Amino acid sequence: MSGKAAKEIWSWVRSIILAFILAFLTSIFLIQPYKVEGHSMDPTLHDQERIMVSKLSHTFDYEPDYGDIVIIDSRVERKRSFTDDISENALYQLVSHQKQNSFLYVKRVIGKPGDVIELKNQKLYRNGELLKETYIKEPMVVMAEGKWTVPKDHIFVMGDNRNNSRDSREIGFVPIDHVLGKKVLGF
């Protein structure tokens, strides 16, 4: 092999490696695809639907808004680290042959720090005001009424399919650093 051919091959290899590194960093810090698993967000999002998630809220650690659809780490009892961000990355999982993380949930933000969330008479209230939720699948069948005050640096999330959703009613409040991104596009 000539020196010119070796330089050409190295140029291509270097370009491919650089492209992979840029894609990896982009998907950790800026935007990442995500596949919805399950029916907890019906009718807004459907099982196996693909969405694009902005990672900026996680990268810069800011609080999502009411109604935002977010990806959360449901393991709310444990601390997160940068290592989690790497190992949960779709590109990393593709290269390392890992399965998608079953502890990542897609939910809607219902309460922010200081809010009082209440379920009573089959309806949802935030700070004493009835929420008008046109996006939910069907009226809630509430087994037990409940009242929660969202602590500092946490949010309260629920799925749009309230009768088939594992959310803050079960897992508890979600620390802000467990909000991994916000849905920006579905396809």
Distance (Å, whole) CA 174 – CA 156:
6
- Nearest of 8, 30, 11 to residue 19 by alpha carbon: 11
* pLDDT tens per residue, range 63-109: 999 999 999 999 999 999 888 888 777 777 777 666 666 888 999 99
Whether 10 shows a pLDDT value over 80: the answer reads yes
* pLDDT tens per residue, range 104-128: 899 999 999 999 999 988 889 999 9
Per DSSP, what are the bridge partners of residue 149?
A: 116
Distance (Å, whole) CA 62 – CA 182:
11
Q: Which listed residue (55, 107, 182, 183) is catalytic?
A: 107
- Verify whether residue 168 is a known catalytic residue: no
Q: For residue 147, what pLDDT is reported?
A: 92
* pLDDT tens per residue, range 159-168: 999 999 999 9
Beta-carbon neighbour count of residue 30 at 10 Å?
13
Q: With beta carbons less than 8 A apart as the criterion, state whether 53 and 180 touch.
A: yes
Q: For residue 121, what pLDDT is reported?
A: 85
What's the fold here for domain 3-186? Answer: Umud Fragment, subunit A (2.10.109)
- Verify whether residue 99 is a known catalytic residue: no
